[in-house]
Copies of this chain bind each other. A is one copy, B any other.
């Protein structure tokens, strides 16, 4: 499975040069010519990394970078900025705004590839390090608030995520509705215990096939089975 990289530049020459070298290095490459297209593709295709030109028509590269950081779907994707200006100010700014590295034009394609490799490797080992709970094909990344089934992301709301997390952390043991209300909602239930049922239903809906883990124990509560 090749890693996908999004290259954003309005000069088609640069795009082609970069794309060629990246493909040589074994990456999949997609491209965008302006900021809007870049954001759309980033969100739709979730590349492993984005190479972003500083100067873009319509929207500044900085702007794209900032917007990517705002959207949780793309917030984690590393960005390398390409800039024609060599001034230090720009560099710092770029990094402060969330770029992971930068290169000044003209740059050596070889160096770009090396930097990309470095960033992706660093990210990989970091990703493996975060606290994740894995239940067969179901993976829950607690600090990142991400859940996935067979590698496919599951969109959960805050409450749903917490409910799932609590159940998984106490996997095997039955949790009464009261207990869940205390642990998930965190204060003594001004809340109807039946609300738990509704959230369980929504959770099951979203989990799809993974819902088989969520077990109802009639008269007692719910349980996450392995």
A151 at the interface (CB under 8 A from B): no
User: Which residues of chain B have C-beta atoms less than 8 A from A218's C-beta?
Assistant: 157-158
A72's partner among B63, B70, B129, B134 (CB-CB below 8 A) is B134
Among A6-14, A48-56, A171-179, A200-208, the stretch that binds chain B is A171-179
A188 at the interface (CB under 8 A from B): no
In the complex, per-residue mask of A26-49: 1 if CB is within 8 Å of any chain B CB, else 0: 000000000000000000000000
A186 at the interface (CB under 8 A from B): no
Interface size class of chain A, counting residues whose CB lies under 8 Å from the partner chain: 20 to 34
User: Which residues of chain B have C-beta atoms less than 8 A from A171's C-beta?
Assistant: 72
User: Which residues of chain B have C-beta atoms less than 8 A from A131's C-beta?
Assistant: 70
A144's partner among B133, B136, B157, B172 (CB-CB below 8 A) is B172
Least CB separation from A72: chain B residue: B135
Q: From known contacts A72-B135, A72-B226, A220-B158, infer whether A128 and B174 are also in contact, taking CB-CB under 8 Å.
A: no
Least CB separation from A63: chain B residue: B128
In the complex, per-residue mask of A161-190: 1 if CB is within 8 Å of any chain B CB, else 0: 000000000011110000000000000000
Q: From known contacts A144-B174, A174-B143, infer whether A133 and B220 are also in contact, taking CB-CB under 8 Å.
A: no
A73 at the interface (CB under 8 A from B): yes
Closest-CB distance, A154 to chain B (whole angstroms): 14
Closest-CB distance, A132 to chain B (whole angstroms): 6
In the complex, per-residue mask of A79-106: 1 if CB is within 8 Å of any chain B CB, else 0: 0000000000000000000000000000
In the complex, per-residue mask of A186-223: 1 if CB is within 8 Å of any chain B CB, else 0: 00000000000000000000000000000001111001
Q: From known contacts A144-B173, A173-B143, infer whether A134 and B223 are also in contact, taking CB-CB under 8 Å.
A: no
User: Which residues of chain B have C-beta atoms less than 8 A from A158's C-beta?
Assistant: 217-220
Nearest 8 Cβ contacts at the A-B interface: A158-B219, A71-B134, A143-B173, A145-B174, A145-B217, A144-B172, A72-B135, A158-B220
Q: Can you report 22 A-B residue pairs in the complex whose CB atoms are below 8 A from each other?
A: A63-B128, A67-B128, A70-B133, A70-B134, A72-B133, A72-B134, A72-B135, A72-B226, A73-B134, A73-B136, A143-B172, A143-B174, A144-B173, A144-B223, A145-B174, A145-B220, A145-B223, A157-B218, A157-B219, A158-B217, A158-B220, A159-B219
